[in-house]
Amino acid sequence: MKLLQKTGLFIAAALMVVACGPGNNTVETGDAQEVAAGSGMTLAVDASSSKINWTGYKPAGKHWGFIPLTEGEVMVEGESLTGARFVFDITGLKIEDMEESNEFYGKLWGHLQSADFFDAENHPQAVFELTSVEPFSAGSIQDKEEFVTEYTPAKDSELSSNPTHWISGNLTMRGVTKNIKFPATVSIANGSVAAKAGFNIDRTAWGLAYGDESNAVDKAKDQFIYNTVSVQFDIQAN
């Protein structure tokens, strides 16, 4: 259980959310917004080649894995993205830094599905719906300052590779909907859409505060888990 408590939250918020406001981090979080109506052609997301990767950190180490995308669609008109909806399977979350045969794998996976984290019994899915798209502004990524240790979370600017757009959308998780904004590289050509993004999220935005680093009395004692989780996604729609 001690290992579970220390490592569990590495995965807990590996979805697209952050609690920091503008100027502190790449991703912005706010109240839910009106979902884009979408127009033009509807393309189905290729679930077999689309996934969400995560990396979680604590001062003494890190863990990583992915959350599968089970269904989704993207709407395009000409070369413009006009709408999108993605569904993620929380119960399908995978931990990739240890073998499933490892006794701690099952314990960690079970804890993540529990009410301490995703509460998957009541909320087995997370949903992202596009609200707006705008051109990316060069130089607008600002890195959040982190408590420095051997495993300090990666910077936002290190995760984002040549973004072309700012993507805004409502993310619903654990019955709570928030609007988030993050940089992405989007290309539309020959009847297909490819989107990639990398950024940091704050796991506490949806109440996933178990082991919240802000509650650590003495961070030098290594008794906390970073609230920051790095997320990278690769979406393909045809």
DSSP for 113-182 reads HSTTTT-TTT--EEEEEEEEEEEPPTT---PPP---STTPPPPHHHH--S--EEEEEEEEETTEEEEEEE
Quote the CA–CA distance of 133 and 127 in Å, as a whole number. 18
Quote the CA–CA distance of 153 and 8 in Å, as a whole number. 16
Q: Give which of 128, 132, 236, 130 is closest to 191, Cα–Cα.
A: 236
Residue carrying structure tokens 């033009």: 40
* pLDDT band at 140; cut points 50, 70, 90: low
pLDDT, position 54: 83
Triad 212, 217, 220: Cα angle to 5°:
95
Residue carrying structure tokens 């045969």: 101
Q: Is the pLDDT of residue 96 over 90?
A: yes
Interval 38-90: pLDDT, tens? 999 999 999 888 888 888 888 888 888 999 999 999 999 988 999 999 999 99
Q: Is 93 exposed, middle or buried (0-12, 13-18, 19+ CB in 10 A)?
A: buried
Interval 129-139: pLDDT, tens? 999 999 987 66
- The pLDDT of 218-226, averaged and rounded, is 81
The percent of residues in the chain predicted with pLDDT above 90, rounded, is: 37
Q: Is the pLDDT of residue 117 over 70?
A: yes
